[in-house]
Amino acid sequence: MRRIWVLAVLVAGLLVATGPAHAENVLSNGGFETGSLSGWSCSGGSVVSSPVRTGSHALAGGVTSGDNAKCTQTVNVKPGTAYTLSAWVRGNYVYLGVTGGSSTWTPSAASYTKLTLSFTTAADQTSAQVFLHGWYGAGAYHADDVELDGPGGDPQPGVPGRPGTPRATTVTDDSVALTWTAATGTVTGYRVYEGSGVKATVTGANATLPGLAACSTHTYAVAAYNDAGESPRSEPLTVTTTGCTDGGLPKHALIGYLHASFANGSGYVRMADVPPAWDIINLAFGEPTSPTSGDIRFAPCPASECPNVESEADLTAAIRAKQAQGKKVLISIGGQNGQVRLTTAAARDAFVRSVSSIIDRYGLDGLDVDFEGHSLSLDPGDTDFRNPTTPVVVNLISALKTLKARYGARFVLTMAPETFFVQVGHQFYGGSGGGDPRTGAYLPVIHAMRDALTVLHVQDYNSGPVMGLDGQYHQMGGADFHIAMTDMVKAGFPVANTGHTFPGLRPEQIAFGLPAAVSAGNGHTPPAQVHQALNCLVKGQQCGSYTLRGGPSPALRGLMTWSINWDRYYGWEFMNSHEPFLNALP
């Protein structure tokens, strides 16, 4: 969000890049969840139930003075294609690599540590052998969640064909029932994978996964197997169990930011004077005492800047009155000037303490994360949004999980990233190198918090052109931009050259953000164009030449704007145009 009238564009002139081929874990039994060394050839070692990183099993390499306990697996690959090999390992001197190619190692890992390397197959290469081993006399090592991400090659002779993409037939609070098109060839059975772990082994083309948490998101893929080996995995399916709470929001909500701690050209608006049309009111902003302190402070605008500011007692009373009307009032952290970098555990803990203090002091309903600028970036080599390693990202996720656990189901969590930090990750992902380390940097946070996230409202403004799922660049300021950007969040998208796909969010978690007026930021969209975008996204109508990859979303949460103050300045055009339209949507 911005305090100034007109802002510099963050993203402009992006280079054209082609999307990656479909990526999957090419390895068989990478998490050793079969309970055996199936798929692997080991000179020494066994499968154990402890210590494990995920699932129920892991590899224990039986190193001796004469044997480094080397385990290998040979898989089919595509020529001239990029792959990423990774494994979580522990022990003294653990090596991971590709025979005849790249390797990496750690001299000592007291707990599970991720090793990662990337390589490109030769122009005529059709197979690759990956290996793990320890070092002579150094003691046993352990490995889990071994992944070779990239497109699979042609199957080995006799191995079943690839099963069809699974479909969810029944979804409850604690289970998911799947079915899929049977694989070709001789099939002994099927393994249902979640990540590298096997969640079910069945003989037919259907399975039920019980014991799940309510409102939890899972991504499943299926592989067929027989005595000759295991097929490539199916395309993945992401599904969320039922039992989600909506935080007491209306089906379609109007969300706005209130300049509560500062003045600008739009003027100050007292909380009591905010019209009842606004369903979520974000107090802007809580800011840190320094970029890396994690210590967030919030105070109402001083009277010297805002002569009509209410007292703190009146502000608190007005918040209570809004909540009595069913409205949600949140503290928004960050903004243009509030750089927050949780580089240490101490900063993380300070963030939790100080944000909790603000929430408790005013009796707020939750938190809006509006990290901009350089608050979030990815370290080199941090290429898997599902398992981030960058401290500022890992610590933010930990802090948000702690806050959610502290306040429970009533806690409202929203996020307001710019397109640069979300959709641009489809083309460029910061940790993979070769560009701005901030691109896509919100994706690990969104993914980690997806089951606790109330609303994600990406700022569809102050943006350069962004490539959508149709392979075309889209420009802000019209219906086309909002349609394409929001469809990416709903449908999900491949993340640059990482080999990983970001799963889409539930439609009730999605809104999109706009400037309230031309003075509020670049990318103001006329009301008729906003309504066209909503008709497309909610009803599948008026989409123009764009085809929704995520399908129509009748439960789409609504609209966010910067800001309530600017809307008041321009005679409430945003509120008066869009609140009745949202209420009339199915």
Calculated CA dihedral for residues 146, 152, 153, 158, nearest 10 degrees: 80
Measured distance CA(306)–CA(389) in Å, rounded: 43
Q: Which two tokens stand for residue 378?
A: 């990815």
Which is nearest to 439 in space by CA: 448, 450, 427? 427
The answer to whether 104 and 117 have CB atoms below 8 angstroms apart is yes
User: Alpha carbon of 477 to those of 91, 310, 463, 481: distances in Å?
Assistant: 54, 35, 10, 7
* Residue 47: half-sphere exposure toward Cβ, Cα within 13 Å: 17
Burial class (CB in 10 A: 0-12, 13-18, 19+), 417: buried
User: Alpha carbon of 549 to those of 224, 467, 485, 492: distances in Å?
Assistant: 28, 14, 11, 9
Measured distance CA(479)–CA(556) in Å, rounded: 16
Q: Which long-range contacts (CB under 8 A, 24 or more apart) does 302-305 make?
A: 305/262, 305/263, 305/268
Q: What is the DSSP letter of 298?
A: -
H-run or E-run covering 579: helix 573-584
User: Alpha carbon of 438 to those of 431, 457, 468: distances in Å?
Assistant: 8, 18, 19
Helices 527-534 & 573-584 angle (0-180, nearest 10): 20
Bridge partners of 218? 239
Q: Which two tokens stand for residue 509?
A: 């978690």
Measured distance CA(566)–CA(554) in Å, rounded: 29
Burial class (CB in 10 A: 0-12, 13-18, 19+), 541: exposed
Measured distance CA(331)–CA(414) in Å, rounded: 10
Judge whether 230 counts as a catalytic residue.
no
**Which residue is catalytic, options 372, 418, 508, 579?**
372
Name every residue whose Cβ is closer than 8 Å to that of residue 324 and which is 6 or more positions away in sequence.
Answer: none
Q: How far apart are the first and last CA of the chain?
A: 30
Q: What is the DSSP letter of 301?
A: P
H-run or E-run covering 149: strand 141-150
Residues annotated as part of the active site: 372
